[in-house]
Structure 1
């Protein structure tokens, strides 16, 4: 393909996946330095700063529901852009159909569940069965279209924590997009860290869908515990994390924003997820994982194992996570 073509990238929908796709985006720019590259993202990523990778970014209109009239009207809008190539990092049938309806001549993506029908070329989506990090799986698509092997570049990260250049703030992200991945001791962690680090601001962050934490935070009645849930854009959240001493998060989008994008020391509490597949790639990411459970990791959104609901997360004690924070921020 000529180096100066117009390329549309259908990005992943989830924040964590979008961050894990950053090596793909940066390598794509290197592969096609003269091409105009646009991102087609979900509304959830509308405030994510992709300016270092793309000259333009398009957001799916909020009113697109299913495969109705608005879906095909949006395809017509995309058709006007006259893209030469579309690359889809999602393996959904609707994404591949949208690119086909937009009459983009070359459409390359991951085939799964029939989505390959609407691509001109595709490779099978292997997911966790690929036995590699998801960032590398995304790069496989670029390897496929360029015939070259693109490797993960150096990890992002802020290096060792310097408390003299960071604010005295601990960021806690108690939520997750999948309820099964929410560590059940997070409420107790907020309380204990607030009592232990009295001269630190304890900032609680998350999306507006996690508003149920407002009552828990209010109950503590501690002036140095700040409720930021649903009150930051993604850019603001990254900036907040970057200026903080440490972040503690579930296996969630915030973990990737903090550990990879912000480069801040980040403690990630893993339950059903497989760290080898989806861990943040920052230089100072510390993992708390279950030990000795035959069902872990399962990468599932539900739990029907004989060990009991959330046995994986319940095996990670409050003391263990607090000890990890103290190792990063000695008293």
Structure 2
């Protein structure tokens, strides 16, 4: 069996899809899985062994001639079936044009007729875990109706190069394994998820002063300026960032893997923590917690109860962004201390 999987577009969603990929892999250990991806999903899933081959999605925002070239590329793969973890009409249409005999996906946005095996989404408005929705698709694919006993554990891996990059950074900044905290301010979803950089800097100083653990801010290509500002505002020798490092999903994964704890907004790298068993405090603003539930025991969520939210908007429609700006450093640090007290003996024992 050769099976294609059209992977989610965002890092966090791709990580939450790993239990579904594991179910697909275990159902046919000798089969081949071809992943269709957008950057940097391949880097996020590298080393997991969940996908045998990766094909870059070259069908977005291109001419019809280029789209048809991508269709021919998929047709040449000769896949027996495709699981669409994406919801767009475009991906379903390309799967159909590629001649893949069996096409499994959610019937939404007018694409039901393009699928051979259709599932109705549980809801487009009522929050339910994306992780479970991906598992439903995988279960439909392999004929597994009862998913209650299927593992929801997220899976990630790091390469030798990732570990070398981590060791180099740790050596230059005097970091000890399991004795530093990762911060993550990212959020490709939009500005509404952002916690003020001033708050992050003040929280970093609290963490350093009360625990004597260094703090390292992760960052992607578009977050380097913010990460530098964070370090400047904190102005402490134990507060660092990845802003001066080569952009690398692998290094970010390794940083989280070896950290004592993580504090993050609701963005993709948050799920690195669950995959590696690193306790994580997530600061939520406009997004409903239930959508990204991962069932990770060593996690804590912090969200203000707002009359206007959670609104699920990329920018605040009311212009005040209070769901994040009014989430105080004091409250975040209390949640950090509680999680630290609850999880650190477990991490030490592990």
Common topology (TM > 0.5): yes
Change (3 A) 1:186 1:328: farther
1:278 aligns with 2:298: no
Q: What is the distance in 2 between the residues matched to 1:127 and 1:50?
A: 33
Change (3 A) 1:328 1:186: farther
Change (3 A) 1:143 1:286: same
CA contact (8 A) 2:2 2:80 kept: yes
- CA displacement 1:87-109 (0-9 Å, x = unmatched): 10101111112212221111111
Bigger mean CA deviation after superposition, 223-232 or 16-25:
223-232
TM-score, scaled relative to structure 1: 0.85
Q: What is the distance in 1 between the residues matched to 2:2 and 2:87?
A: 21
TM-score, scaled relative to structure 2: 0.81
CA contact (8 A) 1:171 1:241 kept: yes
Q: What is the distance in 2 between the residues matched to 1:328 and 1:166?
A: 19
CA contact (8 A) 2:191 2:315 kept: yes
- CA displacement 1:43-73 (0-9 Å, x = unmatched): 1213122532122222224x85335322211
- Structure 1 or 2: larger helix share? 2
Bigger mean CA deviation after superposition, 36-45 or 144-153:
144-153
Q: What is the distance in 1 between the residues matched to 2:7 and 2:312?
A: 21
Q: CA deviation at 1:298?
A: 2.7
The unaligned stretches of length 5 or more in structure 2 are 156-175, 342-350
Partner residue, 1:69: 65
Q: What is the distance in 2 between the residues matched to 1:111 and 1:325?
A: 41
CA contact (8 A) 2:84 2:104 kept: yes
Question: Aligned residues, how many?
Answer: 315
Q: CA deviation at 1:155?
A: 3.6
- CA displacement 1:113-147 (0-9 Å, x = unmatched): 22323222322334554653111111221233315
Partner residue, 1:108: 104
1:171 aligns with 2:188: no
The unaligned stretches of length 5 or more in structure 1 are 158-164
Change (3 A) 1:67 1:122: farther
Change (3 A) 1:329 1:140: closer
